[in-house]
Structure 1
Amino acid sequence: MESLLELKDVSIDFQSKRKSFNIIKNINLKIDRKMKYGIVGESGSGKSLTSLAVMNLLSDNLSIGQGEIILRTDEEKVLNHLSKKEMRNVRGEDIAMIFQEPMTALDPLYTIEYQIIEVLRYHRKMSKKEMREKAIAMLTSVGISRPEKIMNDYPHQLSGGMRQRVMIAMALVTEPKLLIADEPTTALDVTIQAQILDLMNDLTDEHGTSILMITHDLGVILETCDRVAVMYAGQVVEESTVKNVFDNPQHPYTQGLLKSIKTLGDRSEKLYSIPGNVPTPDEYQELGCRFATRCPFAFEKCFNEEPPAFQVGSDQTSKCWLHDEEANPNE
């Protein structure tokens, strides 16, 4: 079965009058229908930029230098080749997005009713009464009590958890094929986080929607996703099922991320952290592995030649020279 969304060798470049450089390099991802797929990595790894590329919402100084973003619904569409008008029809209809901070994503000048109905007005042929009934039903389904009252409220009158529920309702009201969730629980307390994740799981199971979850939180990935891509400095360094990545991480960066998680019963006083920081895009080294400067296992070839994505199992890839028996000095 063909995947719903596929990214083929996608690269994103930054261009200005003074300088230009690569930000995202050769991303390859496949998201099947009804799949919950996660992208995880530190801040600055390129996760959100990848999701914006899928939505065709890159700023003017960013462009897709190569590759294709393919969406397969009733027909196959190469999203990065669509016109602005064609892409507007895709957004909301086929793909919807929950942004990181609902207070900035919701318009403070309009009521919740107006903002939900606006989505239906653009994508569905319905009467005003039908749109209102659909909006109330969707608010009810995301766990909002007294939805008729909430419809008349403005975003600033709602709590953070309520605003996030409204965002989910807006995203799912047209029953899109793919839901992109960019750090959907970052600004919420732990209890509300769990409720929102459970809500997204239930609603997507009910509507058969695929999820692309963007997060830096490995706990969120474990809670919601089937497969995961680990990103570092604009590249996917490891990709597999969530079980494989958590039980048997193959890339040193993934191993470092998992090692930095505190578990119940862990009495060690010092929290492990990967040395150094994620480089900014203009600091990416042109040769070698982008993680080499922070990697405890790096050897000469890591600094001079970029590793390919090695197949390290029947369903797992890792972008690391340690998997090359000829190159690895420890073999």
Structure 2
Amino acid sequence: MSTLPPLHILLAAPRGFCAGVDRAIQIVERALERYGAPVYVRHEIVHNKHVVNRLKAMGAVFVKELDECPDDRPVVFSAHGVPKRVPETARARNMLYVDATCPLVSKVHVEASRHHRNGLEIVLIGHAGHPEVIGTMGQLPEGAIHLIETVEEAQSFTPRDPQKLAYVTQTTLSVDDTAAIVEALQARFPAMAAPHKEDICYATTNRQEAVKALAPRSDLVLVVGAPNSSNSVRLVEVAKRAGAKNARLVQSAADLDRSWFDDVETLGVSAGASAPEELVEDVLTQLAGFRKLTIAEVRVASEDVVFKLPREVA
């Protein structure tokens, strides 16, 4: 055991799984129970290698596109949502499909479709190439939605008619970054229609607020999550901006380097919405091997959201 003083851990709450991720994982598990293996899953069900590997071991087969799936086995669509053409193709092939799209992502799809029906041009604030963005843009004909990633793009965007404009956002963005982009758009287009309710999901907001609360007191913040997890990457950025001396993304306890903690007195710990709590526990166990720990929870909200399962697996 180290002769260094105890390491003070500030443990963010809420952290880890959100209701949408929990529901998506349950859908794959229930599909395997009901229909037997293999069950095909289009894309990673959630962005976490640990979760994906566990489901693979149970009989889930992860594929990139539907053409890799046989017609006679169930296929699950990931929590991030899919373009409209995907379920249309599945129906044309008479496939049994289960849509695990997070209901809060589906809400954005519905909003975008409503704006389009009302003759509005749509701006989507999000990150190019993210599955959720691909899914949202794929709800409407090409050219109906314009992706904006930065304040600079918001300042240079030219709509067809400034009076007929609406915006929606990816659900897992930085709350502060998004607010700056929205502000830039609204300054130029005051008539732009906004979502009835914030598109950034409650879980993303709560996890960012918890990190903001502990970051100014932390020498280092560790975020447990995957590098392709948008909300996890945002948590690292939020921690640095909120005053943490340093912040790192780790996928598991195996990523920890003992030397990181030599000069650390207070360590903040959080986890992205697709990271299971057992990975956080493994990190704490590993840290306890480096130093004696004291642990205090920093809670900013309580979450009791539960989403219903689709009828195919309920």
**TM-score with structure 2 setting the length:** 0.31
Greater strand fraction, Structure 1 or Structure 2: 1
Q: Name the one with the larger helix percent.
A: 2
TM norm structure 1:
0.30
